[in-house]
Amino acid sequence: MYKLIVCDLDETLLDRDARISPTNERAIKEFVAQGGHFVPNTGRSFLSIQDDLKQLGLLQQADQYVIAYNGGAIVENAGNQVLATNPLDFATIKQIYDIARSEQVSGHIYALENLYVWQPSAAERNYLAQRGVEYTLLTDDNLDFLRDQPLMKIILQDDDPARRQALGASIPQQVKTPLATTFSSGRYVEFNHVAADKGKATLQLAEKLGIKPDEIIALGDNSNDLAMINAAGLGVSVQNGTAEVKAAANYVTAADHAHSAVAEAIEKFALR
């Protein structure tokens, strides 16, 4: 029996309007009611998904969790208690930021409790607003105020997939700190500490809960989800997943994220 479900949000659980469908909500609540743990496993901040947790009945609940920042932090929902982090050092964040600025690429810096964005396009502003993501706009290149904050990851945004791939290949060669490089949402290339990924964080949380890997379902759509799909006993790609994710998954849903793909998987595999 599956006891833990880890699930990506954007383009997996959330529909095209960045909402959780009633069908998904109902299936998730039924799984939790039978004693399961449903854990959003997202590249975003845990603070940016509080409304989603509220809808699912998980807000401020003890023994329920979020994995945030692509595995950069594990958080218990009750009190938003941070249980573990895998941060990047300031010098690496600053170096990647300087490279991006020289390439005229926009992006985000995620501190543990704050998001900083530079040069977002109108489309990017709309994308963040649709998801209720709060951020501070960076207006100059002085990042010294970040030195004393735990820094989870830095991501670059470009609509050109070839350019994202080029940045993902070139930047790790220019910095000393080993990086985990992933892609998400058809718009971002993301850089975490090499110790941070969704799969490692999933297994770390599962061990804390006394749950075996073969008792885990992982659902996702993009390359930053591959680690958790490979780590779980059952890896699931939604129908709109990339070819790489579909190839790695044990099951590909008939439905896409806009048509309650998560509920399809939960009803097929996880409900009594």
State mean pLDDT over 95-109: 97
Q: Among residues of the chain, what percentage have pLDDT more than 90? A: 98
- For 163, the domain range is 90-193
Is pLDDT at 163 greater than 90 in this prediction? yes
Residues 95, 164: one domain?
Answer: yes
Distance separating alpha carbons of residues 107 and 93, to the nearest angstrom: 12
* Per-residue model confidence as pLDDT tens digits over 176-228: 999 999 999 899 999 999 999 999 999 999 999 999 999 999 999 999 999 99
Q: Among residues of the chain, what percentage have pLDDT more than 70? A: 100
At 232 the pLDDT is 98
Residues 201, 80: one domain?
Answer: yes
Residues 105, 71: one domain?
Answer: no
CB 188, CB 156: distance < 8 Å? yes
At 76 the pLDDT is 98
* Per-residue model confidence as pLDDT tens digits over 120-159: 999 999 999 999 999 999 999 999 999 999 999 999 999 9
Residue where a domain terminates, one of 141, 171, 193: 193
Q: Exposed, middle or buried: residue 148 (CB in 10 Å: 0-12, 13-18, 19+)?
A: exposed
Residues 162, 149: one domain?
Answer: yes
Residues 102, 187: one domain?
Answer: yes
At 153 the pLDDT is 97
Number of domains in the chain: 2
Residues 184, 221: one domain?
Answer: no
Residues 180, 152: one domain?
Answer: yes
DSSP run (H or E) holding 116: strand 115-118
At 252 the pLDDT is 98
* Of residues 49, 47, 37, the one with CA closest to residue 13: 49
Query: To the nearest 10°, the Cα dihedral for 15, 220, 28, 195?
Result: -130
State mean pLDDT over 61-73: 97
State mean pLDDT over 88-106: 97
Q: Supply 77's token pair.
A: 């929902």
Residues 12, 72: one domain?
Answer: yes
Residues 227, 163: one domain?
Answer: no
Residue where a domain terminates, one of 193, 211, 240: 193
Residue where a domain terminates, one of 173, 193, 213: 193
At 272 the pLDDT is 87
Residues 236, 186: one domain?
Answer: no
Residues 126, 168: one domain?
Answer: yes
At 233 the pLDDT is 98
What CATH number has the domain bearing residue 229?
3.40.50.1000
Confidence of residue 248 (pLDDT cuts 50, 70, 90): very high
Residues 169, 99: one domain?
Answer: yes
What CATH number has the domain bearing residue 105?
3.30.1240.10
CB 220, CB 11: distance < 8 Å? no
